[in-house]
Structures are given as structure tokens and as C-alpha cells.
């Protein structure tokens, strides 16, 4: 890419790193995988990035043909960033990398995580054998963001925003959901302490929370 120092290597992997290997680039892509976002939404989801660096990463992703900027129409007109079709093809690479990295004994499981990142981590960790014959739609309201999780035929699908009825609705936050998934925080206890509000079938909600086990950490020599 013009103005950037490259690897001078004909390998497609090297070129791929030139496209998305800059710091924060893949995390920007991660935040856009579930749908478009405003610049301020990206800043909120990536609190460690400066406005200048975020602007630069977005400019580079647009220049590479991975993202674009467009204006939303009424009733809430705003400029948003979204992935192109080619940019969206990065999803299996990102979830695969996340699945691989979840085996790290140094994984900072208690560090802050954005809502989009948490939803994508569910996709990366989803266990189809545990899901079995479960056929359910789970609405997740994480702060101001809403997601619909569809589990059927041993497959996982996630979309931003909830359309239609859900079997279960969980209104919580990323820390509480992470604790229920990976820190043995029981759903009923979280409800008693006001960390989650549940609408719908409790048994389905409990089963849902068991479908995303962390893999065993690798042994480091």
C-alpha cells in the first residue's frame, strides 16, 4: 500500500499482513463484522485507541477495499463505517484466531471486552455437540446494544438487533455474561443480585450458557 513499509515478499500471507496487520486494524474489523457503526461507537468499543489512530486505520481499510463509509437515512441520519463483502470474508479468520488464542494460559479472561467481541467469541467457542437438538432464539441486550442469537441444527448465527419473538431475553452486561459463561456465576444468583434480567424459559437460558466452553489451556514448556 502506498506510503506504508511493506515486506517485499510475494507470499499472500505477507500481503494480507500489509492489509490488516497494523495495530488495531483487525479489532476495527471485528467491531464491524456484525454491522455498521459510527465513529463514536467504534471509539467506545475500542477505548485504548486514539481518534487519530482510529481514523488512520479506517482510512487504510477503506483504501484496501475492506471497508466503506456511507450515510444512513432517516429516522437517524448518521455517517457509519461498514465492511465490504470482501472485508466480511475476514470473519472465519478472526473467529479462528480467537479460538486458537483462547487456549493461551495467559488469556486475560477478566479484561474488558466489547459487546461485539463477546458475541464473536461465542461464535468462536460454540460447541455444536453440546447444542444437540436445541432450537432456540436468544435475545441478548448488552447495555445499549441488542443481538439475536439463533441456535438450530447444531449451528450458531448472530445478528445485530432483535427482530421478532425470542425464546429467552437476557438483559445484562458483558462482565456479567462473561462471569456466567466462564466464572461459574449461576444464572439465578446473577438475577438475585440484579446483574441480569431474564424473560422467557429459564431452562433454555441455562442450557444456552453451557454451549461455549473455553478450551483447555496449552502447556507451555
For 21, 104, 172, 186, 205, the CA distances from 195, given in Å and listed in that order, are 37, 28, 6, 11, 15
Cα gap 38→44, rounded to integer Å: 10
Q: What is the pTM of this model?
A: 0.87
The tens digit of pLDDT for each residue in 94-108 reads 999 999 999 998 988
- Report the DSSP pairing between strands 197-200 and 155-160: unpaired
The tens digit of pLDDT for each residue in 142-185 reads 988 999 999 999 999 999 877 778 999 999 999 999 999 998 89
**214: which DSSP letter?**
P
Q: How far, in whole angstroms, is CA 163 from its chain's centroid? A: 19
Amino acid at each position: 500500500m502506498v506510503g506504508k513499509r511493506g515486506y517485499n515478499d510475494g507470499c499472500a500471507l505477507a500481503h494480507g499482513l500489509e492489509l490488516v496487520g497494523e495495530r488495531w486494524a483487525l479489532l476495527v474489523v471485528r467491531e464491524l463484522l456484525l454491522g455498521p457503526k459510527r465513529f463514536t461507537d467504534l471509539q467506545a468499543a475500542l477505548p485504548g485507541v486514539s481518534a487519530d489512530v482510529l481514523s488512520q486505520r479506517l482510512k487504510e481499510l477503506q483504501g484496501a477495499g475492506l471497508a466503506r463509509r456511507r450515510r444512513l437515512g432517516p429516522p437517524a441520519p448518521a455517517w457509519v463505517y461498514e465492511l465490504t463483502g470482501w472485508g466480511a470474508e475476514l470473519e472465519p479468520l478472526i473467529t479462528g484466531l480467537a479460538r486458537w488464542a483462547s487456549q493461551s494460559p495467559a488469556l486475560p479472561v477478566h479484561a474488558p471486552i466489547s459487546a461485539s467481541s463477546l458475541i464473536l467469541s461465542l461464535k468462536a467457542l460454540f460447541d455444536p455437540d453440546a447444542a444437540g437438538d436445541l432450537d432456540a432464539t436468544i435475545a441478548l441486550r448488552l447495555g445499549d446494544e441488542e443481538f439475536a442469537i439463533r441456535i438450530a441444527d447444531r449451528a450458531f448465527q448472530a445478528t445485530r438487533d432483535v427482530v421478532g419473538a425470542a425464546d429467552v431475553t437476557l438483559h445484562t452486561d458483558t462482565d456479567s455474561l462473561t462471569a456466567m459463561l466462564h466464572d461459574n456465576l449461576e444464572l439465578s444468583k446473577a438475577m438475585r443480585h440484579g446483574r441480569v434480567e431474564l424473560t422467557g424459559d429459564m431452562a433454555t437460558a441455562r442450557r444456552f450458557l453451557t454451549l461455549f466452553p473455553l478450551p483447555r489451556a496449552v502447556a507451555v514448556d
